[in-house]
């Protein structure tokens, strides 16, 4: 899909999205891979609900909550072997996401992903979900501070040479990163963090899904 036409004399406007739990319903594959790494190493995996609340953090930080320090590196390595083998088992874009992205494109916005996944894996995942042509840039977190630091958001916007408008995500980390980057924030509860946790982060909009995002963006 071609990029939107630029506005004469103005920088393009961009919307930045988290990926997992925001655009794509991927938590079962992430949590299952996380648990399978424990099993592979002969360790007892934590409960799925306990893992779910940590999704969105870097892998080593996630594993640090459930395993001794000396096993974390091995668990991370195991996850990175396992996840690419099952990352499309159940993961699918949430209902209406491709249509919503197309509508935003039609209003002249550039669209970027800013995720804690590494860029190579994020790009593979976006392609597997059929969303490559719907997005203008996929930015992973590659050796720099993760959300809620704003670095991944800034890098996504720099890659587009655009002004950010909204950060859209499903975790308090996404809300924090968007605020730190100076963007308005739209949080959805169909992903990782529940409405109560997200409300404490005080996003500009808190919704059950992305149905009202276009309305919010157009103001």
Rounded distance between C-alpha atoms, residue 76 and residue 20, angstroms: 18
Of residues 20, 29, 151, 174, which has the active-site annotation? 20
Q: What is the DSSP string of 159-171?
A: HHT-EEEEEEESS
**Catalytic site residue 136?**
no
Q: What is the DSSP string of 122-141?
A: HHHHHHHTT-GGG-SEEE--
Q: How far is C-alpha 18 from the geometric centre of its chain's CA atoms? A: 3
Rounded distance between C-alpha atoms, residue 122 and residue 118, angstroms: 6
Residue among 99, 97, 109 nearest 166 (CA): 109
Rounded distance between C-alpha atoms, residue 195 and residue 201, angstroms: 10
Of residues 18, 36, 151, 174, which has the active-site annotation? 18
Using only C-alpha atoms, what is the Rg of the chain? 17
- Residues 6+ away with beta carbon under 8 Å from 194: none
Q: DSSP code of 219?
A: -
The helix (run of H) or strand (run of E) holding residue 184 is strand 184-188
**Catalytic site residue 174?**
no
Q: Active-site positions?
A: 18, 20
């Amino acid at each position: 899909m071609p990029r939107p036409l630029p506005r004469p004399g103005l920088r393009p406007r961009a919307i930045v999205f988290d990926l997992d739990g925001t655009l794509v319903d991927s938590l079962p594959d992430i949590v299952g891979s996380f648990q399978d790494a424990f099993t592979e190493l002969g360790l007892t995996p934590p409960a799925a609900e306990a893992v779910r609340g940590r999704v969105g953090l870097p892998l080593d930080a996630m594993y640090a909550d459930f395993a001794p320090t000396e096993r974390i590196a091995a668990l991370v390595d195991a996850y990175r072997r396992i996840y690419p083998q099952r990352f499309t088992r159940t993961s699918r874009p949430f209902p209406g996401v491709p249509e919503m992205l197309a509508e935003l494109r039609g209003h002249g916005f550039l669209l970027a992903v800013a995720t804690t996944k590494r860029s190579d894996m994020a790009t593979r995942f976006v392609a597997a979900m059929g969303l490559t042509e719907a997005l203008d840039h996929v930015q992973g977190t590659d050796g720099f501070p993760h959300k809620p630091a704003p670095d991944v958001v800034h890098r996504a916007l720099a890659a587009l040479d655009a002004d950010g408008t909204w950060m859209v995500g499903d975790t308090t980390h996404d809300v924090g990163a968007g605020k730190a980057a100076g963007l308005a924030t739209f949080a959805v509860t169909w992903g990782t963090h529940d409405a109560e946790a997200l409300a404490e982060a005080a996003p500009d909009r808190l919704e059950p899904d992305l149905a009202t995002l276009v309305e919010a963006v157009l103001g």
